[in-house]
Amino acid sequence: MTHLAIVLLWITLVVLLILASFFSATETSMMSLNRYRLRHLVKNGHAGAIRATRFLHHPEKMLGVVLIGNTCANIIASAIVTLLAQHYVGELGVAIATGILTLIVLFFCEVLPKTLAAFWPEKIAFPATIPLNFFGVVLAPLVWFMNALVRSVTSLFHLRAPINIEHLSVDELSTLLKESGSSISDTHRQMLIQALELERLTVADIMIPRQDLVGLDLDDDQDTLLEQILNSPYRRLPVYRNNWDEVLGILSMRDMTQFFQKHEEWDSNALMTVLQPIYVIPETTPLTKQLVNFRRKKSRIAFIVDEFGEIQGAVTLEDLLEEIVGEFTTDFTETSPDIKAQGDGSYLIAGSTPLREIKRSLHWVLPNTDAKTLSGFLIDYLQQIPTSGTSVCIDGWVIEILQSVDNRIKMVRVSAKA
């Protein structure tokens, strides 16, 4: 061979190895792109992301171009190495040259470019789409033939490509948020996770139990009613007669100033004229739906009824928002009326306290249960109504029943197991 032919062969060999590296890196980088970040970049008009998305919409064509180009580059490079080995060393050098080429291709054309592409997929994939478009045009007939052959084989064996629906479940979204690192602040991350949790919860999970509801009983005398209205810490008070099965409406404290100005003498019948209608919901209502319903109804409190229509409790907009943003206090155990920290490290907890509040404040990991309150959980766990003085150890906590009245637990003491 002439000197010019040898030089051209060497140049061609280098170009082919570069092409093989390019195809290997392109394949890995395209498949390593974050699909959700890619959609975000496309919405923002990123040119490289738009080109990459076009290829990923037809992965069989993209893979056809990459694999055919890579295979052709390696085969032609192997043939050139054989010619050069015969020229320089003779037949004995062909095997040695082939072995050396194999190592070069393995490292420089496979391992190294694919590793770099896995580390920086966007930096490699986006610019690579420009030459990939060119090779897609050049290799189009061969790619079409290969894809047609693949479709024929898959049809012969009745194989169909799965429908690729990239929808994330609530658990998957929570995992993404938890692993988002410093890109999202801890506070915002926790709020987003809590918002996702609303999908699994119902109003019964966060309701104020019936026995803990605070309201005005119209059967009380006028002095008692007046004292309750003037000293109430709440902006709205439910009004009932005799018991919670007969809720008459909601009394807004904002209306009372004007009411007292108009009515120097008043009674329970006059009070009923300023009541707002109650809003009743089933106990199975999901929190996500109830959040929308509060906005649609322009209401901030709803009464929860069971399947028989009996009132089981109430839920407020504030309760629901606390499920997203957390408690509006810095130390829940110091300000909660139901969980009181003691000097010896133990806690006094009312039996009506919702389990979710206890889990948040004490970080309990409790067995699976349908109970909503601590009282219900302990009764379900013990399979009986415990008497005062009964103790049980759960999740490293010693729970002592301090008061049990009317078939429910009123107060317990919780302390860490020694």
**Tens-digit pLDDT profile for residues 36-85:** 788 889 999 999 999 999 988 888 888 889 999 999 998 998 888 888 88
Q: Which residue would you say has higher pLDDT here, 35 or 127?
A: 127
- How high is the pLDDT of residue 188? 78
Residue linked to tokens 């898959």: 154
DSSP string, 119-145: HSHHHHHHHHHHHHHHHHHHTHHHHHH
DSSP string, 295-311: HHHT-SEEEEE-TTS-E
Residue 22: pLDDT above 90?
Answer: yes
Among candidates 125, 147, 101, which has minimal Cα distance to 23?
125
- How high is the pLDDT of residue 131? 92
So what's the architecture of 198-325 in CATH? Roll (3.10)
Question: Is residue 254 very low, low, confident or very high in pLDDT (cuts 50, 70, 90)?
Answer: confident
Q: Report yes or no: 413 and 397 within 8 Å, Cβ to Cβ.
A: no
Radius of gyration of the chain (CA): 36
Residue linked to tokens 């410093």: 182
Question: Is residue 200 very low, low, confident or very high in pLDDT (cuts 50, 70, 90)?
Answer: confident
Q: Which residue would you say has higher pLDDT here, 94 or 181?
A: 94
DSSP string, 276-297: BPP-EEETT-BHHHHHHHHHHH
Strands 280-282 and 301-305, sheet pairing:
parallel
Q: Which residue would you say has higher pLDDT here, 159 or 194?
A: 194
User: What's 32's DSSP letter?
Assistant: H
- What are the pLDDT digits (tens) for 113-171? 999 999 999 999 999 999 999 998 988 888 888 888 888 887 887 766 655 546 667 77
Answer yes or no: same fold for 198-325 and 332-416: no
- How high is the pLDDT of residue 327? 61
* Rounded CA separation 129/120 (Å): 15
Instruction: Return the number of other C-beta atoms located less than 10 Å from residue 185's C-beta.
Output: 10
Among candidates 63, 44, 43, which has minimal Cα distance to 55?
63
- How high is the pLDDT of residue 15? 92
- How high is the pLDDT of residue 26? 93
Question: Is residue 226 very low, low, confident or very high in pLDDT (cuts 50, 70, 90)?
Answer: confident
What angle, 0 to 180 degrees and rounded to 10, lies between the N-to-C axes of helices 59-88 and 92-104?
Answer: 140
Domain locations along the chain: 3-156, 198-325, 332-416
Question: Is residue 418 very low, low, confident or very high in pLDDT (cuts 50, 70, 90)?
Answer: low
Residue 282: pLDDT above 90?
Answer: yes
Question: What b/e sequence results for 309-337 when a residue is b if at least 16 CB atoms lie within 10 Å of its CB, and e otherwise?
Answer: eebbbbbbeebbebbbeeeeeeebbeebe
- Whole-model pTM over 0.85: no
Residue 334: pLDDT above 60?
Answer: no
* Average pLDDT over the chain, rounded to an integer: 83
- How high is the pLDDT of residue 332? 44
Element (H, E) at 170: helix 170-178
Average of pLDDT values for 183-206? 80
Domain 332-416: state its class. Answer: alpha beta
Amino acid at the residue 156: L
- What are the pLDDT digits (tens) for 359-378? 777 777 777 677 878 888 88
What strands lie across the sheet with 301-305, from one edge to the other?
208-209, 311-316, 301-305, 280-282
Q: Which tokens is 392 given?
A: 């049980």
